[in-house]
């Protein structure tokens, strides 16, 4: 993992590109910073390490002045040119760009013409119809902007699970090997694997709380320390996320860990269960209450023992949402959740045939290195022209390459898949003869997002009915923190999938995690099987398969619910087309 520095550099360069564009600087410089942002976001190792070893200079697209900026950042945590740009713009300006479809050009227009420089000001102007005075701002734009502002408000202060995990890496590193550390765990929504989180919570038991607090702060190099006590330290990271650490005595650790893992709703339900058993539960312990009202702690050395003391099987953190887990634990009916290592096939990867970066054999080698035994290549189909969708002759060329690779037998089996567009009328993007030639067809919506719910639902169900469709890809099309999914009756689509033996994908791209885990639980109830997909566009992101595993666990899935937990042959046999 690259650690937080790369992400921060990517963010800083990205902000510089945005600010330059708002300021009306030349497009060439804007593009250059956009490229830098992308480069640092995708580095395979940490920028400081690559800087020290001289590799960074050799990185394509990284020139002398970028190297100087990286040095500045590693020494001071800041880049002067970035700070100078920030000083030229009003404080809330970049918030405007979080509105879907609202780019730097629009931001510049409202700032220059109407003096608008914050979400609040923009909202007022849109409500009062003032935006319409500007060229390019129709009434419809105003409505979209207002809807967009609502979305930004809803998402404000939330972070993708994967980003939050990156942000806390330095803390884990600083504390895991620290001599004062007795036990260390991630808690909160991050441990429960929520798709987005407000902040990160850590719980540590320590032989020396002050030393632990120091090590945490030093390791994180935060923007600000917002609280520093012996039992709790809070820091604010440059990306805007808070990280809280609770430091507790070793005997309190299991109770604190359970409490700060949450969810709040789960905790409430656990506490009322404790009460029914004449016990009391809080972050300091589980207590029995004697006849004289005297409280005595029930000593538990682990979370397992806490659950046991309440007559429950151990509830994995992912399930602690008060969605039936306590009842299931009482009856001994909790699922045995799917594990990373049980996933045998890497599914839904793009290659340089369409918009991926790497070749088919490179993706195969990377999947093999992760322990996968088969790879289902799924490039885009021809209507996805913006993503280099494959013409029929390219499909055939890829099939020949896959046949040749399988004949060579490089220790991983390749399957001929496709991420086939579902066209607006519900038909697929190739004719039957081509569709029949694939081993596996994942059908996805990439266009006409604005159909109304009945039309969108009918469109997707038409694809489900198509005998060549094996899997429905990213069913709702949501992009976390960016846009809601299209209007679709998920229940109806899942019911159709159950009827026709079509599987649904959990897309492991951290921005998607689509199908949402709440619906995954429902899919399982309906008997729909699930494919855990990476949607990788380069070698380095095949690991997103494991983000899909997280969502699958949160959706109560077991090995038997997951198609690509089957061996290569069984996977193939289990696909709808072969049923
Ligand atoms: P987040 O941060 O919004 O993504 O979600 P959480 O669940 O991490 O929430 P957070 O950070 O406010 O608190 C962490 C855990 O601490 C939470 O899941 C349960 C526990 N907790 C915090 N405040 C309360 C409370 O008022 N009542 C109860 N029962 N538990 C609480
Ligand atoms: Ca939290
Ligand atoms: Zn897609």
Q: Which atom of ligand 1 is nearest to the CA of 244?
A: 11
- Note whether 28 and 34 are within 8 A (CB): no
Instruction: Out of 189, 315, 318, give the residue to mutate to test ligand 1, the one with the largest number of ligand atoms within 8 Å of its CB.
Output: 189
Task: Return the ligand number nearest the Cα of 447.
Answer: 3
| Ligand 1 interacting residues, C-beta cut-off 6 A | 188-189, 194, 197-199, 201, 259-260, 262-264, 267-268
Q: Is 196 helix (H, G, I), strand (E, B) or coil?
A: strand
Please give the Cα distance from 302 to 254 (Å, whole number).
Answer: 5
Burial classification of residue 333, based on how many CB atoms lie within 10 Å of its CB (0-12 exposed, 13-18 middle, 19 or more buried): exposed
| Å from CA of 246 to ligand 2 middle | 12
| Å from CA of 269 to ligand 1 middle | 14
What pLDDT, on the 0 to 100 scale, is given for residue 28? 94
- Which token pair is 333? 């009916």
Task: Return the ligand number nearest the Cα of 270.
Answer: 1
| Å from CA of 260 to ligand 1 middle | 6
pLDDT in tens, the chain (579 residues): 334 788 889 999 999 999 999 999 999 999 999 999 999 988 888 899 999 999 999 988 899 999 999 999 999 888 999 999 999 999 889 999 988 889 999 999 999 999 999 999 999 999 998 898 888 887 778 888 998 898 888 888 899 999 999 999 999 999 999 999 999 999 999 999 999 999 999 999 999 999 999 999 999 989 899 999 989 999 999 888 999 999 999 999 999 999 999 999 999 999 999 999 999 999 999 999 988 889 999 999 999 999 999 999 999 999 999 999 999 999 999 999 999 999 999 999 999 999 999 999 999 999 999 999 999 999 999 999 888 999 999 999 999 999 999 999 889 999 999 999 999 999 999 999 999 999 999 999 999 999 999 999 999 999 999 999 999 999 999 999 988 899 999 999 999 999 999 999 999 999 999 999 999 999 999 999 999 999 999 999 999 999 999 999 999 999 999 999 999 999 999 999 998
Neighbours of 299 (CB within 10 A): 11
Looking at ligand 1, which residue's alpha carbon is closest to its atom 27?
A: 264
Looking at ligand 1, which residue's alpha carbon is closest to its atom 24?
A: 264
Provide the total of helices (H) and of strands (E) in the chain, helices listed first.
Answer: 24, 17
- Which residues are registered as beta bridge partners of 442? 419, 471
| Å from CA of 118 to ligand 2 middle | 27
Candidates 407, 419, 414; CA nearest to 360 is 414
| Å from CA of 538 to ligand 3 middle | 14
Please give the Cα distance from 579 to 500 (Å, whole number).
Answer: 10
SS (H, E, C) 244-284: EEEEECHHHHHHHHHHHHCCHHHHHHHHHHHHHCCEEEECC
Cα distances from 428 to residues 419, 446, 461, 467, in angstroms, run 10, 12, 12, 11
Q: Which atom of ligand 1 is nearest to the CA of 266?
A: 29
What pLDDT, on the 0 to 100 scale, is given for residue 157? 85
Looking at ligand 1, which residue's alpha carbon is closest to its atom 1?
A: 198
Please give the Cα distance from 47 to 54 (Å, whole number).
Answer: 10
What pLDDT, on the 0 to 100 scale, is given for residue 2? 34
| Å from CA of 422 to ligand 3 middle | 10
Instruction: Give the position of tokens 């897309």.
Output: 507
Looking at ligand 1, which residue's alpha carbon is closest to its atom 2?
A: 198
| Å from CA of 220 to ligand 1 middle | 22
- Which token pair is 298? 């029930």
Please give the Cα distance from 579 to 567 (Å, whole number).
Answer: 16
Instruction: Give the position of tokens 């494919």.
Output: 531
Residue 116 DSSP one-character state: -
Please give the Cα distance from 488 to 476 (Å, whole number).
Answer: 7
What pLDDT, on the 0 to 100 scale, is given for residue 552? 98
| pLDDT tens for each residue of 140-191 | 788 889 988 988 888 888 999 999 999 999 999 999 999 999 999 999 999 9
Cα end-to-end span (Å), the chain: 40
Rounded to two decimals, the pTM is: 0.86
- Which token pair is 221? 């190099």
Instruction: Out of 262, 271, 480, give the residue to mutate to test ligand 1, the one with the largest number of ligand atoms within 8 Å of its CB.
Output: 262
Neighbours of 251 (CB within 10 A): 14
| pLDDT tens for each residue of 478-532 | 999 988 899 999 999 999 999 999 999 999 999 999 999 999 999 999 999 999 9
Please give the Cα distance from 121 to 126 (Å, whole number).
Answer: 9
Residue 413 DSSP one-character state: E
All residues at 6 or more sequence positions from 565 whose CB lies less than 8 Å from its CB, including other chains: 338, 342, 343, 344, 532, 559
| Å from CA of 388 to ligand 2 middle | 40
- Note whether 549 and 343 are within 8 A (CB): yes
Please give the Cα distance from 96 to 114 (Å, whole number).
Answer: 14
- Which token pair is 379? 């490039």
Backbone phi, psi, residue 3, to 5°: 85, 180
The string of DSSP codes covering 369-412 is HTT-SEEEEEEEBTT-GGGTPBPHHHHHHHHHHHHHHHHHT-SS
What pLDDT, on the 0 to 100 scale, is given for residue 218? 94
Backbone phi, psi, residue 222, to 5°: -75, 165
Strand 181-187 to strand 285-289: parallel, antiparallel, or no bridges (unpaired)? unpaired
Please give the Cα distance from 514 to 340 (Å, whole number).
Answer: 18
Q: 545-554 vs 161-176: helix axis angle to the nearest 10?
A: 100
Looking at ligand 1, which residue's alpha carbon is closest to its atom 16?
A: 260
Please give the Cα distance from 17 to 37 (Å, whole number).
Answer: 9
Please give the Cα distance from 367 to 351 (Å, whole number).
Answer: 13
Give 234's Cβ-side CA count (13 Å radius): 7
SS (H, E, C) 205-259: EECCHHHHHHHHHHHHCCCEEEEECCCEEEEECCCCCEEEEEEECHHHHHHHHHH
- Which residues are registered as beta bridge partners of 505? 531
């Amino acid at each position: 993992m690259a650690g937080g520095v790369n992400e921060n550099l990517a963010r800083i360069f990205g902000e510089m590109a945005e600010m330059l564009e708002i300021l009306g600087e030349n497009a060439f410089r804007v593009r250059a910073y956009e490229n830098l942002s992308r480069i640092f976001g995708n580095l395979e190792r940490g920028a400081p390490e690559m800087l020290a070893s001289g590799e960074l200079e050799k990185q394509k697209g990284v020139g002398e002045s970028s190297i100087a900026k990286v040095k500045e950042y590693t020494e001071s945590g800041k880049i002067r040119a970035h700070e100078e740009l920030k000083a030229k713009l009003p404080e809330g300006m970049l918030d405007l760009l979080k509105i879907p479809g609202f780019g730097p050009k629009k931001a510049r227009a409202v700032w220059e013409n109407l003096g608008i420089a914050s979400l609040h000001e923009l909202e007022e102007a849109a409500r009062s119809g003032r935006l319409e005075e500007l060229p390019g701002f129709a009434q419809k734009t105003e409505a979209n902007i207002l809807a967009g502002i609502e979305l930004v408000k809803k998402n404000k202060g939330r972070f993708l699970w994967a980003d939050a995990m990156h942000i806390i890496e330095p803390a884990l590193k600083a504390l895991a090997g620290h001599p004062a550390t007795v036990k260390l765990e991630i808690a909160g929504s991050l441990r429960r694997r929520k798709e987005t989180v407000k902040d990160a919570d850590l719980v540590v038991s320590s032989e020396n709380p002050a030393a632990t607090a120091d090590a945490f702060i030093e390791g994180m190099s935060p923007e600000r320390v917002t609280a520093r006590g012996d039992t709790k330290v809070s820091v604010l990271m440059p990306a805007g996320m808070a990280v809280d650490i609770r430091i507790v005595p070793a005997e309190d650790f299991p109770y604190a860990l359970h409490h700060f893992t949450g969810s709040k709703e789960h905790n409430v339900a656990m506490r009322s269960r404790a009460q029914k058993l004449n016990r009391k539960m809080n972050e300091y312990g589980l207590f029995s209450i004697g006849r004289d009202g005297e409280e005595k702690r029930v000593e538990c050395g682990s979370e397992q023992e806490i659950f046991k003391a309440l007559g429950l099987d151990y509830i994995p953190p992912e399930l602690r949402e008060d969605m039936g887990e306590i009842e299931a634990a009482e009856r001994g009916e909790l699922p045995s959740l799917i594990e990373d290592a049980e996933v045998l096939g890497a599914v839904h990867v793009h290659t340089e045939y369409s918009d991926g970066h790497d070749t088919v054999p490179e993706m195969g080698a990377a999947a093999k290195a992760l322990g996968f035994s088969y790879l289902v290549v799924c490039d885009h189909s021809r209507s996805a022209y913006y993503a280099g969708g494959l013409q029929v002759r390219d499909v055939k060329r890829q099939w020949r390459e896959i046949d040749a690779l399988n004949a060579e037998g490089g220790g991983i089996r390749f399957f001929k898949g496709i991420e086939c567009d579902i066209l607006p009328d519900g038909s697929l993007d190739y004719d039957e003869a081509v569709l029949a030639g694939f081993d596996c067809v994942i059908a996805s919506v990439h266009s006409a997002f604005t159909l109304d719910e009945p039309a969108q639902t009918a469109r997707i169900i038409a694809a489900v009915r198509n005998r060549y469709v094996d899997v429905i890809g990213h069913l709702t099309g949501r992009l976390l923190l960016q846009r809601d999914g299209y209007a679709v009756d998920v229940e109806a689509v899942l019911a159709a999938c159950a009827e026709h033996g079509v599987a649904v994908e959990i897309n492991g791209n951290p921005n998607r995690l689509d199908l949402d885990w709440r619906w995954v639980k429902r899919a399982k109830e309906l008997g729909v099987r699930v494919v855990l997909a990476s949607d990788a566009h380069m070698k380095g992101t095949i690991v997103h398969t494991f983000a899909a595993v997280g969502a699958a666990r949160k959706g109560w899935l077991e090995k038997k619910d997951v198609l690509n937990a089957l061996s290569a042959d069984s996977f193939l046999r289990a696909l709808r087309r072969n049923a």
